A and B are shown apart, each in its own frame.
Chain A
Amino acid sequence: MLIHLPILQVIVPLMAAPLCLLLTRPRLVWLFTLIVSGLAFLISCLLLQQVMTSGTIIYELSGWEAPWGIEYRIDQLNAFLLLIISAVSTVVLIAADTSIKKEIPADKHTFFYILYLLSLAGMLGIVATGDAFNVFVFLEISSLSAYALIALGKDRRALWAAYQYLIMGTIGATFILIGIGLMYQMTGTLNMHDLSMRLPEVEHTRTVFTAFAFIIVGICLKLALFPLHLWLPNAYAYAPSIVTAFFAATATKVAIYLLIRFTFSVFGLSFSFTAVPLQVLFLVLGLLGIFAASMAAIYQKNIKHLFAYSSIAQIGYMIVGYSVSTTTGLMATLLHLFNHALMKSALFLALAAVMYRIGSVQLSQFQGLGRQMPLTMAAIVIGGLSLIGVPLTVGFVSKWYLILATLENGWWPVAVLILLGSLLAVVYVWRIVEVAYFKPPLASSESIEEAPLSFLIPIWILVLANIYFGIDTRLSVQVTQSAAQSLFGVGL
């Protein structure tokens, strides 16, 4: 059983999805989905523990040897991401049953959970697999279910957002497909480990260069790197709240994983950073993303829009850490990946609770909520502080390593810009605090009560995790450090 963990990680949610159709009562489906997601979380914990003690796990699907068959290869990086995705998915699901009652028509609840599980399976698959074409297949499984999930939003703009995401996402995925095809043409293999062995022989050819360009642009579309981020704000703002909480914490992270995997493991460090001026390009785009998106966030009236723009800014921080291309820089990226998942899932879940009580997330509706929904608003404040990077929250840890990494390289202007970017976060978080705490409640919302426990429990699990991992950094730092070191070591 233990040897089969890598495949079980993906196959359990994938198989569970159609089984949902057999369950008749929506509540039962919810419970089943929660258990499946919890199982995935358990498996990812075991995998991480196994990887940390005994190194990379190689799993050959149905016993076919690697270059011919598909293999799953779990190292520290994969295991870490599997853990993030399955943990967030499970915690978010606790609130799903209550939240979707008000946002999705009752006859669509079963389909919601099916799509949710498919999306989860797709993301876990992208991360677990060691086969380039398999990445494309899982990418499309998770994306197609994501488009449908977003279109479930009750606002008609959700449809338009889903359509735009579909067009952009499909172009991105097709670009990745072209890149994989070109690589296959040159090397005759699809296995990532095998590719990393064979690519150096042909790396001076224009074909490999083109493949690299297609893959990088395709992935950047998926990870919403500025200026390819246009699909993200509306998709996140109009999707059902639970979907937003899940995707904001996981979808773009998976794309960042792909970026790291393809540049570091498949193409190799020396090729990736010399073939194109990737370092400068990503540094500039990352910083531009931080400022443009933070400025845009300040002027939003819809709080879901506000945090969606803030997500784009946070992706900017991860890309800056990546562009430093040292062990510390990569560590900062991975730490921020983990921390941002914690912050954004907490914030968007709190917004889901507000949506449940008020039916809107417009800033003007937040008046006086500080007194009416004290626990929910306190969660938003702590999540906001974490976004800014205040000490004792996780946000501080990753910003600390990011600044350390830039200073190590002597890039002090970049460090200054990062700090300035954090100040912009202060502005947009303060706007919410000001309205929620210093304005009297609206006459129409006097009877608003605190969110039900089914929201408060998952929100506060995430908020406490925000604080816990901000103080006790042993686990996250140890895992990211060994992941970053192994990526800078010898290939996969």
Chain B
Amino acid sequence: MLMGLYNDWVVVVLMMVGFYIVIAHGNLIKKIVGLSIFQTSVFIFYISMAKVEGGTAPILAEGISQYSNPLPHVLILTAIVVGIATTALALALAVRIKEAYGSIEEEEIQKQDNLDC
């Protein structure tokens, strides 16, 4: 049970770790790291879903009859690119926030905003 679903357990644990970091941490950079871990867990989920036991890469060659499903792998390449773009944009925003507020702590930013209102 435990070993048979090894990848699924990893996915769930990573997902929860990432999600928890996003919710619980006030530091903007840590939030971004959490978000990345969260997304990575989904990548692993897609990749392990497509693995066929005993199958190889889908390249036509003699003596091989079983292949892994290449489609989810290709899909997740797209999702990885999207993930990188998101992380890059989030980091850029964090830099701009640091310039404008002088802090990357959620509490500090919120405090300054409340003063502005």
Residues of A within 8 A of B (CB): 133, 136-137, 140, 144, 147-148, 151, 156-157, 159-160, 162-163, 166-167, 170-171, 174, 177-178, 181, 184-185
Contacts and interface: CB of A to CB of B under 8 A. Distances in A.
Contacts of A181: 42, 45-46, 49, 72
A456 B113 CA distance: 33
A174 to B, nearest CB: 6
Contacts of A177: 42, 79
Contact of A174 (B39, B78, B93, B116): B39
A280 to B, nearest CB: 27
Given A177-B79, A181-B49, 7 more contacts: A140-B86, A144-B82, A144-B85, A151-B96, A160-B97, A167-B22, A174-B39
Nearest to A301: B117
Interface string B69-91: 00010010011001001100110
A366 B43 CA distance: 51
Interface of B: 19, 22, 28, 31, 35, 38-39, 42, 45-46, 49, 72, 75, 78-79, 82, 85-86, 89-90, 93-94, 96-97, 100-101, 109, 113, 116
Q: Is the interface of A mostly helix, strand, loop or mixed?
A: helix
A165 B22 CA distance: 13
Given A160-B109, A160-B113, A184-B49, A166 B82 contact: no
A160 B108 CA distance: 12
Nearest to A302: B117
Interface centre among B39, B89, B96, B97 (most CB of A within 10 A): B89
A178 B42 contact: yes
Contacts of B35: 167, 170-171
Contact of B86 (A133, A159, A162, A170): A170
A269 B2 CA distance: 36
Given A156-B101, A160-B97, A166 B46 contact: no
Contact of B96 (A133, A137, A159, A171): A159
A136 B79 contact: yes
Contacts of A156: 97, 100-101
Given A136-B79, A157-B113, A181-B46, A166 B86 contact: yes
7 contacts: A156-B97, A156-B100, A166-B89, A170-B39, A171-B19, A174-B39, A178-B45
A322 to B, nearest CB: 28
Nearest to B117: A301
A104 to B, nearest CB: 14
A163 B93 contact: yes
Given A147-B93, A171-B22, A181-B46, A157 B116 contact: yes
B17 to A, nearest CB: 14
B24 to A, nearest CB: 13
A167 B31 contact: yes
B29 to A, nearest CB: 11
B53 to A, nearest CB: 15
B86 A151 contact: no
Contacts of B100: 156, 159
B38 A171 contact: yes
Contact of A162 (B49, B79, B93, B116): B93
Contacts of B90: 163, 166-167, 170
A480 to B, nearest CB: 33
B82 A137 contact: yes
Contacts of A185: 49
Contacts of A157: 113, 116
Nearest to A147: B89
A174 B42 contact: yes
Q: Top 10 nearest A-B pairs by Cβ distance?
A: A156-B100, A140-B82, A163-B93, A159-B97, A159-B96, A185-B49, A181-B46, A170-B86, A166-B90, A133-B75
